Amino acid sequence: MNGWIIIDKPVGLGSTQAVSAVKRALRTGDYPKRKVGHGGTLDPLASGVLPIALGEATKLAGRMLDSDKIYDFTLSFGSETDTLDGEGQVVATSENRPTLADVEAVLPRFTGEIDQMPPAYSALKVDGQRAYDIARQGGEVKLATRRVTIHALTVSHPAATRHPGEGRDRHEAREPENPDDPGLRRGDVEQTGGPLPDAPLDAITLTAHVSKGTYIRSLARDIAYALDSVGHVTMLHRIKAGPFDLNSAISLDKLHEAAMARALEDVCLPLRAGLDDIPALSLSPDQAGLLRQGRQLDGIAANDGPAFAMLDDVPVALVEVEDQSVRVVRGFNL
């Protein structure tokens, strides 16, 4: 049990609660006690891929935090909230609604390296306090902009216009009338199944491939501003975190079933799965012994950069190769 359990986190559950669920599963299955940690926070209002590291894999959790992420998110136009999501209070409104063409025209401005102002309701620390604690107490939160990278930003599911005379509270999340697409309502699509080309949008769903430190809520806010409107996030679903995607994620129900059957091994991915993006480095027994002592290896014919050092099928260390020298970054007690 040194590896990864990838949870498909539901809305309403915090990341630490997901960690607790895995710990309970280990106890339920009467497994030996293991360190457990998550590889990237997801807010309770967000759902999707949450890597949970077990045992020696917890040594790689920091690397997972630094990895790229991919999200689907719905940006609803017309109202901005203080939290920039559906949980907060409305602080600004606008009657302006962009078209699909408007949205597609501004997205390139938010692709590549951009400067982003984090939300006031975030876990960043200001003078030793969490920003969200200051904000909840009514204090002024002063945060600096940060440079992040948006590798790709595309339209996923555009939602179409309000019908004449139709009204609703846009701060409230609405149930989708088209079960195949949470952003579309009946009557808002052409016979071909696509959105009306020039219809004002109440909401739009985008897919963003982003670097570490990117706040999707801030990205949504700034896109709405660029469209001469305001908005907030009403759906946030992480579809990939580092090398892990929804294909390897399991529900909490399946986690519980595996625990009851004492079959958590069947849903636990190997430690190596968290390093699929770097090459393996095969070691001799003598070389493995030196690395386990924290010694440096010299004269190793390998490409510069990170590598996953292995003795047969046993992980030895995450290493860095430079000028044919190998040094340990993280050693594994296996």
Contacts of residue 77, defined as CB under 8 A and 6 or more positions apart, other chains included, come to: 94, 96, 97, 98, 170, 201, 202, 203, 204, 224, 227, 229, 230, 231
Beta strands in 10-59 (DSSP E): 36-38, 47-54
* Chain CA centroid to CA 319, Å: 26
Give, rounded to a whole angstrom, the gap between the first and last alpha carbons of the chain: 11
| Residue at token pair 């049990």 | 1
> Is residue 43 annotated as part of the catalytic site, yes or no?
yes
Burial class (CB in 10 A: 0-12, 13-18, 19+), 210: buried
Task: At 199, give phi and psi (nearest 5°).
Answer: -80, 140
Distance CA 76, CA 30 (A): 46
Of 277, 275, 317, 314, nearest to 300 (Cα)? 317
Of 312, 243, 246, 245, nearest to 278 (Cα)? 243
Q: Which of 8, 30, 43, 115 is catalytic?
A: 43
Distance CA 25, CA 13 (A): 16
Task: At 27, give phi and psi (nearest 5°).
Answer: -70, -40
4: amino acid identity, one letter: W
Give the active site residues: 43
